[in-house]
Amino acid sequence: MCRIWREEVSDLSNFEDLQKILKTLREENEVLRQRVARMAELEKENEALKNRIAEMSKSFTLTVEPATLIKAIQSDLLKVDEFALKQERSTTYVVSDLNVQLKAVVTQKDDKVALALPSRAEDIRPELLSTINISIKPIPLPYRAGAQPQPQPKPRPVEVIEGIGPKLGSVLRAKGLSTVADLARASARDLTTIGIDEKSASKFIGMARLMAMSEFAGLEGMDEQAAELLVIAGKVDSREMLAKSDPEELFKILDSAIKERRVRVPKGYRLSIEDVRRWIDSARKSVGS
């Protein structure tokens, strides 16, 4: 290097060239000095960040992987299902899409993304928290592995509706309304003609329809409008009955009810034979037929 430098200096024609070289060297040296200073600042910031993370970690009560959290939620749902099956009285509960919104710090643990949950809200500033949305969709199954198929449920009597006791139940039976499904298909006028006030009649029918429609929750392509069509127009009030239905016949019944306005549907509502087939196929898978 010294020999090359001497050769370059010896080739300079005048002193101005030497000054230019020195100026360039000073500028490069200044840039290098600034970079070194910036690196020192970054090291300090990095150290401060590490200390801050360590301090924040002390307030975390739990650090979990997303998959572990979802499995825990699914496990709790199965416990609810097992509890319902053990009850002596029939228990109806509906789980559609389960959406969980969680406030947590997204961090890293063993090279994997993890969710750090603060022990108290004041431990971490709100702007440091991320909002995690978890959506769990139910998958209809005939029965869980190892479990015995459940017997088909008996028609639910009208007395299971809140406000209908033995006395009113006997009056409804005399009218031909002995089950929840019968009541779901009735009109308010059917009930007012036997002495039930209009407000109570609407309440009883609404509750009966809600209970009947809940039978179809979770079936593929099923929504509230479709369930209402099945219960009111199709006179189908259980998955078992839907599973045994003929797609073409059921479609004709429902389509006719829509065209004749015997059931209310939103403007522009369209029903296809494919929709009905999808409901029936899903019901058959659900009941194991």
pLDDT band with cut points at 50, 70 and 90 for residue 276 = very high
Residue 147 pLDDT: 46
Question: Which residue is it, tokens 């600034």?
Answer: 34
Model confidence, pTM: 0.43
Q: What is the pLDDT of residues 55-83, one digit of tens each?
A: 666 555 566 676 676 677 667 766 766 66
44 and 90 in a single domain? The answer is no
Write out the two tokens for 55: 């301090």
162 and 274 in a single domain? The answer is yes
163 and 279 in a single domain? The answer is yes
Residue 257 placed within a domain? yes
Task: Please provide the average confidence, as pLDDT, over all residues in the chain.
Answer: 75
7 and 50 in a single domain? The answer is yes
Q: Please, what is the angle between helix 273-287 and helix 247-259, to 10°?
A: 130
Residue 141 placed within a domain? no
Residue 142 placed within a domain? no
Residue 44 placed within a domain? yes
CA distance 215 to 239: 6
Total domain count, the chain: 3
In percent, the amount of the chain with pLDDT more than 70 equals: 61
Residue with the larger pLDDT of the pair 168 and 90: 168
Residue 249 pLDDT: 92
Residue 248 pLDDT: 93
185 and 254 in a single domain? The answer is yes
201 and 272 in a single domain? The answer is yes
pLDDT band with cut points at 50, 70 and 90 for residue 46 = confident
Residue 153 placed within a domain? no
CA distance 159 to 125: 53
In terms of Cα–Cα distance, which of 154, 173, 155, 176 is closest to 164? 173
39 and 66 in a single domain? The answer is no
203 and 104 in a single domain? The answer is no
Residue 251 pLDDT: 93
207 and 248 in a single domain? The answer is yes
235 Ramachandran zone, left/alpha/beta (phi>0; psi -120 to 50)? left
Residue 141 pLDDT: 44
Q: What is the pLDDT of residues 186-216, one digit of tens each?
A: 888 999 999 999 998 888 888 888 887 877 8
In percent, the amount of the chain with pLDDT more than 90 equals: 10
Structural domain boundaries, residue 9: 2-57
Write out the two tokens for 81: 């299902």
75 and 49 in a single domain? The answer is no
Phi, psi of 185 (to 5 degrees): -90, -5
pLDDT score of 270 more than 50: yes
228, 209 in Cβ contact below 8 A? yes
Q: What is the pLDDT of residues 227-264, one digit of tens each?
A: 888 888 888 878 888 888 999 999 999 999 888 888 88
53 and 69 in a single domain? The answer is no
Maximum mean pLDDT: which of 16-25, 212-221, 251-260:
251-260
Residue 145 placed within a domain? no
Residue with the larger pLDDT of the pair 163 and 4: 163
Residue 283 placed within a domain? yes
CB count within 10 Å of CB 6 equals 10
Residue 6 placed within a domain? yes
168 and 264 in a single domain? The answer is yes
Cα–Cα distances (Å) from 178 to 77, 116, 186, 235, 236, in that order, read: 33, 54, 11, 14, 16
* Dihedral, CA of residue 58, residue 59, residue 60 and residue 61, to nearest 10: 100
